């Protein structure tokens, strides 16, 4: 574990502008420390946060090798401001992007049930997924592809449930739909849907509590959880409760990303006040509905960052160049959160209001840029010319 001192901070952005929030952390045995940080809506000057670590070694965790490959301290060279340009326009409710090594993209559309391929600036239909029943926040949601690009997974809302299918991918077309996991509760709202393949090759899946808050704490329900399953849909070995459940107490997980040390981060919609960025550990309870944002509840893990819902309403999440990038729907901006081990620096906003609602953010297959999709055709946005679009972000 890294120094307990540095696990005790929750950045607070928004409602309590300038206020300090000090919270407990997931490890009950950690000693409290009066470390304080203040965070306000001021989005300038955050680069210092990434380089302020007094320690050259980010962590002593089991998987720290990748993070500490260099014996010297973290370089301090600040990154240039990110610049965005259109990759493709004219999409309808794009929800998730699966980048391919040849530079093209697979993208799924929530409301059309379609998987499209984007080559250059042109999108064309690959396949309409059958059995999708779009409605409310449901529809064709998650999409991810294995590193060998042979298998595609999709998460969608069907007639009775949310489910996950796999399909083979041969470079041009998708094979037969195979349901690998069914029975995730569905609702008009809070259907979760994000999927990511972990360093262990298992699928990590964010679900929502479908508007029934009690389900989030119910270990017998798949709602309001992060699941960890094999690519065949079985509970992954080593899960904390002997089931598919990896963590609980979530309201509606919308973003999942692994950092370069193999830690899992998740974004989550709050209710009326606080959206969350959480560092996910096996078996931990993230508080909902007992706690929204940070609290003192026994046995519950506090977020690393909270935002007022008007500044975030977070969806997709990606780790790139030492930071997490979080796409904000209602907040209409891309949040950058510097990561240093298990600690985070001051969040910084990019593109505020420029592109409207942002749904997903994914690292391109070559690692050189981010791909960010808008969500202005989802019924809650103001449609601009060209919406919805996928942007390429460079810096």
Q: What are the residues binding Ca ion (CB under 5 A)?
A: 286-287
| Least distance in angstroms from the C-beta of 291 to Ca ion | 6
| Least distance in angstroms from the C-beta of 11 to Ca ion | 14
Between CA 390 and CA 67 the distance in angstroms is 30
| Least distance in angstroms from the C-beta of 302 to Ca ion | 7
Instruction: Provide the token pair at 146.
Output: 């294995």
Q: Is the CB of 269 or the CB of 286 nearer to Ca ion?
A: 286
The helix or strand, by DSSP H or E, that contains position 47, with its residue range, turns out to be helix 47-51
Between CA 79 and CA 395 the distance in angstroms is 7
| Least distance in angstroms from the C-beta of 23 to Ca ion | 11
CA trace torsion 59, 63, 65, 66 (10° rounding): -100
The residue of the chain with the least Cβ separation from Ca ion equals 287
Q: Is the CB of 181 or the CB of 286 nearer to Ca ion?
A: 286
Under 8 Å between Cβ of 371 and 327: no
| Least distance in angstroms from the C-beta of 303 to Ca ion | 6
Between CA 179 and CA 244 the distance in angstroms is 16
Q: Diameter of the chain by CA atoms?
A: 56
Between CA 103 and CA 89 the distance in angstroms is 17
Under 8 Å between Cβ of 198 and 187: no
| Least distance in angstroms from the C-beta of 204 to Ca ion | 17
Between CA 36 and CA 166 the distance in angstroms is 46
Q: Is the CB of 170 or the CB of 298 nearer to Ca ion?
A: 298
| Least distance in angstroms from the C-beta of 263 to Ca ion | 17
Under 8 Å between Cβ of 355 and 327: no
Between CA 159 and CA 227 the distance in angstroms is 21
The helix or strand, by DSSP H or E, that contains position 51, with its residue range, turns out to be helix 47-51
| Least distance in angstroms from the C-beta of 276 to Ca ion | 5
Q: Is the CB of 246 or the CB of 286 nearer to Ca ion?
A: 286
Q: Is the CB of 91 or the CB of 279 nearer to Ca ion?
A: 279
Q: Is the CB of 282 or the CB of 321 nearer to Ca ion?
A: 282
Q: Is the CB of 123 or the CB of 277 nearer to Ca ion?
A: 277
Between CA 127 and CA 189 the distance in angstroms is 26
Q: Is the CB of 142 or the CB of 270 nearer to Ca ion?
A: 270
Between CA 256 and CA 332 the distance in angstroms is 19
């Amino acid at each position: 574990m890294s120094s307990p001192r540095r696990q005790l901070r929750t950045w607070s952005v928004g409602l309590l502008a300038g206020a300090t929030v000090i919270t407990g952390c997931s490890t009950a045995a950690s000693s409290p420390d009066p470390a304080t940080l203040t965070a306000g809506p001021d989005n300038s000057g955050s680069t210092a946060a990434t380089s302020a670590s007094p320690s050259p070694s980010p962590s002593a965790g089991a998987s720290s090798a990748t993070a500490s490959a260099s014996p010297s301290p973290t370089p301090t060279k600040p990154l240039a401001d990110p610049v965005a340009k259109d990759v493709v326009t004219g999409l309808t409710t794009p929800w998730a992007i699966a980048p391919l090594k040849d530079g093209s993209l697979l993208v799924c559309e929530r409301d059309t049930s379609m998987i499209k391929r984007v080559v250059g600036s042109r999108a064309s239909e690959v396949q309409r997924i059958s059995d999708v029943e779009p409605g409310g926040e449901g529809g064709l949601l998650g999409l991810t592809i294995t590193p060998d690009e042979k298998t595609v997974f999709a998460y969608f809302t069907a007639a009775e449930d949310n489910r996950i299918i796999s399909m083979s991918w041969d470079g041009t077309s998708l094979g037969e739909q195979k349901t690998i996991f069914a029975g995730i509760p569905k609702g008009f709202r809070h259907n979760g849907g994000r999927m990511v393949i972990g360093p262990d090759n298992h699928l990590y899946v964010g679900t929502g509590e479908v508007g029934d808050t009690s389900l989030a704490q119910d270990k017998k329900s798949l709602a309001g959880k992060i699941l960890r399953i094999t690519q065949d849909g079985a509970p992954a070995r080593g899960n904390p409760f002997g089931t598919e459940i990896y963590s609980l107490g979530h309201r509606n997980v919308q973003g999942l990303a692994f950092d370069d040390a193999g830690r899992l981060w998740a974004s989550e919609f709050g209710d009326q006040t606080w959206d969350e960025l959480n560092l996910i550990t096996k078996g931990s309870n993230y508080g909902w509905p007992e706690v929204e944002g940070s609290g003192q509840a026994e046995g519950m893990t506090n977020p690393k960052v909270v935002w007022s819902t008007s500044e975030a309403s977070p969806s997709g999440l990606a780790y790139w160049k030492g930071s997490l990038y979080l796409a904000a729907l209602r907040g209409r901006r891309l949040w950058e959160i510097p990561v240093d081990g298990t600690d985070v620096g001051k969040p910084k906003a990019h593109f505020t209001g420029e592109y409207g609602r942002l749904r997903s953010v994914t690292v391109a297959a070559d690692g050189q840029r981010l791909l960010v999709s808008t969500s202005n055709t989802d019924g809650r946005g103001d449609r601009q010319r060209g919406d919805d679009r996928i942007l390429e972000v460079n810096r």
